[in-house]
Structure 1
Amino acid sequence: MSTVLDETAETVVTSARPAKRPATRSAGVRKGRKPGDWVVLAVAVVLGFFIAVPFLMILINSFKSPADYNSSGPLTLPTSLYFDGIVAFWERVNFPEKFWNSVFISGLVAVFAVVLSMFNAFALGIGRVRGRLWIVVLILLANMLPQEVLLYPLYFMFKEVGLYDNQWAVIIIFTVIQSAFGTYLLASVYSTFPKEMLEAASLDGASRWQILWRVVYPISRPTLSVLLIFFFIWTWNEFLIPLTFLVSNATQTVPVAITVLQGDRLMDVTTTSASALLGLIPTLVFFLIFQRTLTRGITAGAVK
């Protein structure tokens, strides 16, 4: 039976791939761009510029000495490379420890939230539980609640169970928050699954567990990869809940460590820029590594 299921999933995945069409060349005249295309391109360039400017300013001022910054301002290039700001932040907050805390929390949240979203969406989108629409609406409304509303109830709850100032409290909170969005998205995707494919797997003797892992999961893997990347980056950049629940220095994340030092009297602008750069580089590297996975996952749903 497992062989039949694997062949069924492989056939569906193969048939879902677009057939390769032979490349055709235009008869001669190259089609020009429409005015609307130039407008879209201009808007994209402007938006890209405004997105890149803050990063470039952080990068420039991270390697600029305080004296150089005071004399020339934030917009000029440094006269010489100055690494004391990066070294000062690295040593002052014990950056490797904060980096590991962020990786540990963000990685577990991403994995747990994707798995929980897949289970919930399978029950709502394919299982067709009673009251499915109202459950999805309730999940969406809960996901729209501001974090400030959740602070006191969560603080009281984790204080009672002894998980306050524990990284698992943050992991549990963000797993639930991120999986709410993931459930809403995947439930819409799973509700469009072909019934014939699911019925064929069921007639072959597959249980619901086998249908989920051998039929549904292989086809929805690109979407799950996108959710995994987004959940990791979103959790890495979270600040309010980690600041509230991780009060010990040994449990804090990188964003919390950066902001806590903002009130330090010894903190200068260049060190602040260096701290922001060190906090930004891991997510940037993570995004660049999985950029192709992200692109394939986003475009997979658009190709039929």
Structure 2
Amino acid sequence: MSTTIARKPPTTDVPQQPARKLHRQKPKKTASDWVILVVAIIIGLLIAVPFLLILINSFKSPGDYNQGGPLQLPTHVYTDGIVNFWNRVNFPEKLWNSVFISGAVAIFAVLISVLNAYAIGIGRVKARTWILVLFLLANMLPQEALLYPLYFMFKQVGLYDNPWSVIIIFTVIQSAFGTYLLSSVYGTFPKEVLEAASLDGAGRWRILWRVVVPISRPTLSVLLIFFFIWTWNEFLIPLTFLVSNDNQTVPVAISVLQGDRLMDVTTTSASALLGLIPTLIFFLIFQRTLTRGITAGAVK
């Protein structure tokens, strides 16, 4: 009995061709795209014009301003306006007051908003819609309607002319908006994630800080940035509740100084520039965080 053994045919090494790189063709821009680009550039220039005017007039002497007006470039760098404003209002003290108040409001408002939205959006409390309507109405109240009740209340508790009075007021105001926004976000939170965490033995408090907060971190970062900038720019309530010079914020110091003494335009521009630079630096530092947070909801 003979057995036949099948022989494999000789293999020849065939050199493999390198994989071709796929080059994606860039979509051609249409006429509408160019129109949108031109409109965006024009809007950007219009927004930048006030800042450029402030920058030019901040380093211009009163003589140059009287001769050439606000649009002419300065003949030489004049820094006396910035120095005079810096020393006259004790700008480092006012800067610290604004940073402290705005930072505390941003942190406390985000924290309260998370707790409220977790109970309303995920906890599904009764009368959820009416509670959100109340938060929305509270955020829509004009500040002028709150001045006298809050003034009387903080006078009674001894917090008038105290930075914590402004912190408490703006924490409540900002957290009303934050609760309204986060409740709608948490209302669409994936239930599968919450159920999986619950099956693993996590309680409600642990689910909040280990699951909900990390996933919603981009939205919370956006709220934190907006709360800081909004509080920084507030004027009426800090003007009413911070009457002493040591507790005033940057916007209040600028306005009080303008009303207290006759100021030239260059010093006024210098004060506006010094008040604008901190928020501009804050925005540039957290620009990438703000962009990621805004676009996070566009990608599922």
TM-score, structure 1 length as denominator?
0.90
2:213 to 214, 217, 220: 217
1:109-129 deviations in whole A, cap 9, x for unaligned? 000000000000000100000
User: In the alignment, is residue 166 of structure 1 matched against residue 166 of structure 2?
Assistant: no
Instruction: Determine the C-alpha separation between the residues in 1 that align with 2:90 and 2:158.
Output: 26
1:149-177 deviations in whole A, cap 9, x for unaligned? 11111111111111110100000000001
1:286 to 282, 285, 290: 282
For 2:233, the equivalent position in structure 1 comes to 237
Within 5 Å, which residues of 2 pair with 1:58-73?
58-73=54-69
For 1:42, the equivalent position in structure 2 comes to 38
Bigger-Rg structure (1/2): 2
For 2:202, the equivalent position in structure 1 comes to 206
For 2:262, the equivalent position in structure 1 comes to 266
Give the direction of change, closer, same or farther, for the CA distance of 1:151–1:24 in structure 2 (3 Å limit).
farther
For 2:88, the equivalent position in structure 1 comes to 92
Instruction: Determine the C-alpha separation between the residues in 2 that align with 1:264 and 1:52.
Output: 30
Structure 2, gaps ≥5 residues long: 1-20
Shift of residue 137, structure 1, vs aligned partner: 1.1
For 1:25, the equivalent position in structure 2 comes to 23
For 2:172, the equivalent position in structure 1 comes to 176
Shift of residue 226, structure 1, vs aligned partner: 0.7
For 2:273, the equivalent position in structure 1 comes to 277
Give the direction of change, closer, same or farther, for the CA distance of 1:24–1:130 in structure 2 (3 Å limit).
farther
For 1:147, the equivalent position in structure 2 comes to 143
Name the amino acid aligned to 2:287: Q
Structure 1, gaps ≥5 residues long: 1-22
Name the amino acid aligned to 2:38: A
Name the amino acid aligned to 1:25: H
Shift of residue 31, structure 1, vs aligned partner: 3.1
Other structure's SS at 1:31 match: coil
1:62-84 deviations in whole A, cap 9, x for unaligned? 00000110011000110000000
Name the amino acid aligned to 1:222: P
Shift of residue 243, structure 1, vs aligned partner: 0.2
1:179-231 deviations in whole A, cap 9, x for unaligned? 11111111111011111111111121111000000000110011101111111
User: In the alignment, is residue 255 of structure 1 matched against residue 258 of structure 2?
Assistant: no
For 1:12, the equivalent position in structure 2 comes to none
Shift of residue 24, structure 1, vs aligned partner: 5.0
Name the amino acid aligned to 2:176: A
Shift of residue 44, structure 1, vs aligned partner: 1.1
1:102 to 98, 103, 109: 98
Name the amino acid aligned to 2:145: V
The ranges of structure 1 where at least 4 consecutive aligned residues each deviate by more than 3 angstroms after the TM superposition are: none
Instruction: Determine the C-alpha separation between the residues in 1 that align with 2:264 and 2:238.
Output: 24
2:50 to 51, 54, 72: 54
Instruction: Determine the C-alpha separation between the residues in 1 that align with 2:109 and 2:38.
Output: 38
Other structure's SS at 1:190 match: helix
Q: Cα RMSD between the aligned structures?
A: 1.2
For 1:124, the equivalent position in structure 2 comes to 120
Instruction: Determine the C-alpha separation between the residues in 2 that align with 1:265 and 1:93.
Output: 12
TM-score, structure 2 length as denominator?
0.91
Instruction: Determine the C-alpha separation between the residues in 1 that align with 2:55 and 2:283.
Output: 18
User: In the alignment, is residue 82 of structure 1 matched against residue 93 of structure 2?
Assistant: no
Name the amino acid aligned to 1:281: I
Count the aligned residue pairs. Answer: 280
1:211-259 deviations in whole A, cap 9, x for unaligned? 0000001100111011111110110010000000000000000000001
1:29-48 deviations in whole A, cap 9, x for unaligned? x5321222222212211211
Identity %: 80
Question: Using CA pairs below 8 Å that are at least 6 residues apart, which structure has the higher relative contact order?
Answer: 1
1:249-284 deviations in whole A, cap 9, x for unaligned? 000000000011112333110000000000000000
